[in-house]
Each structure stands twice: as structure tokens, then as C-alpha cells.
């Protein structure tokens, strides 16, 4: 296992759409392990493969309940709405208010190729959405609510 470099700011790979993982092989398993190490080293709660320069649909998340590995994740259900501050390991020092669903259900494969669904609320729901956005070339700064709009509420 290794710590990988986290792509930052205007790195063009962060804006590309990741490809579906067709075969879960040793390269994908190593990627998952390296991503977990990298996320923990950076003190993050989630990391998507494009953030370490790999355009594959792979995500790791840990909001304090243990690591979750997601291969080919898709959000299949969402409800509610919460506006809260968000940041990103690829955009250090930047944060902003983003509206995300209060609850989501994500469908993905585990490291053995088994399909599963996991529900998340609050921070976990936010992390699922944030990381799946990364796989589609979307950064949280694309969704930040301007301060003027927040003050009107």
C-alpha cells in the first residue's frame, strides 16, 4: 500500500468522466488500498479515483464508521435537502455551502464484485454525492451557493 499524490485545483483530470470498472483485478484492489491510505493520511472523509489520477469509477469513504469501498457507484435514491459547508482534498483551503440530499441510497460493487446497496444520511449522504460527482467530473465548487443567496433565506 502507498500514499498517492492528490490532484489539485485546475488539474484537467478532475474534470473528466471516469470509466466503469469492467474487471476487478489486482490493480483495482491495490488502487482501493492506496486510496484508503491516501485519504487517511490527508485526513479526509472520502476520495475518488480521479483525485489520485485514475479515471475509474472507484471511491473510498470513511465518515468515522469504518471504510466503505465503492466500485461503480450509482445513487439510486435521494430525499430531503440539507445545506452545509463542504470542502475537498483536491481544493485545499476552499469551502462553501452546498445543498445535498439528506438521505441517499447508493448501489455499487464491493472488492469481490458483489453488488450491494448502502444508505446514508447527513454526512455520509453528502460524502456519497460528493464522491460520485468526482467520477462525473463535477467539483463541489460547481454547486456552491453564493453568500448573497444564503443571506436571503
Catalytic residues, by residue number, are: 131
Q: Which helix (H) or strand (E) holds 131?
A: helix 122-135
State how far the Cα of 61 lies from the Cα of 79, in Å rounded to an integer: 20
Judge contact between 94 and 140, C-beta under 8 A: no
Q: How much helix, strand and coil, in percent to the nearest 5, is found in the chain?
A: 30, 30, 40
Reported as type and span, the H/E element at residue 127 is helix 122-135
Q: In the sheet that 115-121 helps form, which strands lie side by side, from edge to edge? A: 46-48, 58-61, 68-79, 103-109, 115-121
The 3-state DSSP class for residue 19 equals: strand
Q: Which residues sit opposite 58 in a β-bridge? A: 71
Amino acid at each position: 500500500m502507498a500514499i498517492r499524490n492528490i490532484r489539485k485545483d485546475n488539474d484537467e483530470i478532475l474534470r473528466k468522466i471516469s470509466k466503469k470498472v469492467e474487471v476487478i483485478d489486482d490493480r483495482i484492489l491495490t488502487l482501493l488500498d492506496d486510496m484508503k491510505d491516501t485519504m487517511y493520511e490527508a485526513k479526509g472523509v472520502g476520495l475518488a479515483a480521479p483525485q489520485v489520477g485514475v479515471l475509474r469509477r472507484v471511491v473510498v469513504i470513511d465518515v468515522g464508521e469504518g471504510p466503505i469501498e465503492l466500485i461503480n457507484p450509482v445513487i439510486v435514491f435521494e430525499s430531503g435537502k440539507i445545506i452545509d459547508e463542504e470542502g475537498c482534498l483536491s481544493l485545499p483551503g476552499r469551502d462553501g455551502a452546498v445543498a445535498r440530499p439528506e438521505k441517499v441510497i447508493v448501489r455499487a460493487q464491493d472488492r469481490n464484485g458483489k453488488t450491494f446497496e448502502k444508505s446514508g444520511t447527513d454526512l455520509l449522504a453528502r460524502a456519497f454525492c460528493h464522491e460520485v460527482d468526482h467520477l462525473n467530473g463535477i467539483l463541489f465548487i460547481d454547486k456552491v451557493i453564493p453568500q448573497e443567496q444564503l443571506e436571503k433565506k
